[in-house]
Amino acid sequence: MHDFPLEMQGDVAIHLHREVLSLPIFDNASQGCRKAIAMQIVPTFCTPGEYVLHCGDAISGIYCVCNGSMEVLRDGMVVAILGILTFFIIVILIIVV
């Protein structure tokens, strides 16, 4: 895809990540802003039992659960279960934990 013109890359990225970009947080974002965000999205797949972040880790991005669910643990106990399209809550819970 990197061989395509930048404008086309952005259009493809918007199409690929339309589910995330349709969240209410992006309602007032311009098309250019959505395109810039879409081009920065990096899909990551996690297996059951895999840790995404640990307490104290530096957060280098925003995470969104697009399929399945995720548990937030504190001292080995589940304190929250995050479902599909849970977005900023992940960042808030990880910072608080």
Q: Per residue in 9-65, pLDDT tens?
A: 999 999 999 988 888 888 999 999 999 999 998 888 888 888 888 878 877 777 778
How far are the Cα atoms of 2, 56, 77, 84, 88 from residue 95, in angstroms, in the given order? Answer: 35, 8, 17, 20, 11
Instruction: Please name the helix (run of DSSP H) or strand (run of DSSP E) that holds residue 90, with its range, or none.
Output: helix 88-96
pTM above 0.75, yes or no: no
State whether 27 and 53 are in the same domain. no
* CB of 52 closer than 8 Å to CB of 70: yes
Query: And the tokens for 20?
Result: 């995330």
Domain containing residue 88: 44-97
State whether 19 and 1 are in the same domain. yes
State whether 89 and 67 are in the same domain. yes
